[in-house]
């Protein structure tokens, strides 16, 4: 009988081709599986809460895997981190029930997209902020965000609606837009689940509202049309973090 463990993982996605294993490419999942194999002598597949694309970061990615023999979770976690590069860290490892599933048991996910709204991005943030020099209208962005909260068909906010086997209707429970004095703008999106590049598309739309190229009320128009348009850009991945997964 196997024992199931849950991992909470943080990573800087700059040097990775995304989360999911891909032939000939360095991925976060692939590196963690290599570390597990070094610890156990076996190739063991880990199962994620959701994929992140190339260049996307995570503070709270979740995954699970099974071991034939129980281990001390704290010591095993330290061993994994010793075999991983410093841009990937297992932050927590815990034993869970045998039927726990990192993907299907998730009740909500939170993503945060970070924008530096100023003349120059501080060097230490250059890999983690989208740069927008033009002054953003935070009030207008919040008005637009309110219209995206709820259960909607988000086909206009996914890069490839035809790839969504389970459909394009999703429930977003919260979107907030905040600004710090220094110039950091954070777009926080919480929902039950998300489509391919959906959060980056929501961020792109809100930014166009913020600079005055679109009006807040156009959110409803795009949702109703249900068709992808170049008026809704998909912003670069570097500002996106999978912040947490709740169970």
Domains and CATH numbers, the chain: 3-96 (3.30.70.580), 108-246 (3.30.70.660)
Which backbone phi and psi does 51 adopt, to 5 degrees?
A: -80, 150
How high is the pLDDT of residue 60? 98
CB neighbour list of residue 196: distance below 8 Å, 6 or more residues apart: 158, 159, 160, 163, 164
**Mean of pLDDT over the chain:** 96
**Measuring CA to CA, which residue among 28, 37, 4 is closest to residue 90?**
28
Q: Hunting for tokens 């009030």 — which residue is that?
A: 139
Q: Are 196 and 158 in contact (CB under 8 A)?
A: yes
Which backbone phi and psi does 92 adopt, to 5 degrees?
A: -155, 140
Catalytic position from the list 12, 53, 99, 246: 53
pLDDT tens digits along 94-116: 999 999 999 999 999 999 999 99
Q: Are 202 and 235 in contact (CB under 8 A)?
A: no
Active site includes 153? no
Q: Which two tokens stand for residue 8?
A: 């909470």
Whole-angstrom distance, CA of residue 58 vs CA of residue 19: 10
Whole-angstrom distance, CA of residue 120 vs CA of residue 132: 9
Collapsing DSSP to helix, strand or coil, 208 comes out as: helix
Going by pLDDT thresholds of 50, 70 and 90, the confidence category of residue 162 is low
How high is the pLDDT of residue 165? 63
How high is the pLDDT of residue 159? 83
Q: Are 193 and 109 in contact (CB under 8 A)?
A: yes
How high is the pLDDT of residue 166? 77
Q: Hunting for tokens 């039927």 — which residue is that?
A: 99
pLDDT tens digits along 26-52: 999 999 999 999 999 999 999 999 999
**Measuring CA to CA, which residue among 179, 190, 198 is closest to residue 114?**
179
Going by pLDDT thresholds of 50, 70 and 90, the confidence category of residue 198 is very high
If one compares 159 and 174, the residue with the highest pLDDT of the two is: 174
pLDDT tens digits along 49-65: 999 999 999 999 999 99
Would the pLDDT of 161 be above 60? no
- What are the CA-CA distances from residue 203 to residues 48, 60, 233, 236 (Å)? 24, 20, 8, 10
């Amino acid at each position: 009988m196997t024992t199931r463990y849950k991992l909470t993982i943080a990573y800087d996605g700059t040097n990775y081709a995304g989360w999911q294993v891909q032939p000939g490419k360095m991925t976060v999942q692939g590196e963690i599986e290599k570390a597990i194999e070094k610890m156990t002598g076996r190739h063991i597949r880990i199962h994620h809460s959701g994929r992140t694309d190339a260049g996307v970061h995570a503070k709270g990615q979740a995954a699970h895997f099974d071991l034939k023999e129980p281990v001390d979770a704290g010591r095993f976690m330290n061993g994994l981190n010793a075999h991983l590069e410093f841009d990937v860290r297992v932050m927590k490892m815990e034993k869970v029930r045998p039927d726990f599933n990192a993907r299907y048991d998730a009740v909500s996910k939170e993503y945060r997209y970070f924008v530096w709204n100023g003349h120059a991005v501080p060097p230490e943030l250059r890999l983690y902020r989208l740069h927008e020099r033009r002054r953003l209208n935070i009030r207008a962005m919040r008005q637009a965000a309110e219209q995206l909260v709820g259960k909607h068909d988000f086909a206009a906010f996914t890069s490839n609606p035809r790839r969504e086997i389970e459909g394009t209707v999703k429930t977003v429970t919260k979107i907030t837009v905040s600004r710090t004095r220094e110039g950091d703008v954070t777009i926080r999106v919480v929902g039950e689940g998300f489509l391919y590049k959906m959060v980056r598309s929501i961020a792109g739309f809100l930014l166009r509202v913020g600079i005055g190229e679109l009006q807040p009320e156009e959110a409803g128009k795009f949702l109703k049309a249900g068709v992808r348009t170049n008026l809704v850009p998909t912003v670069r991945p570097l500002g996106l973090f999978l912040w947490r997964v709740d169970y």
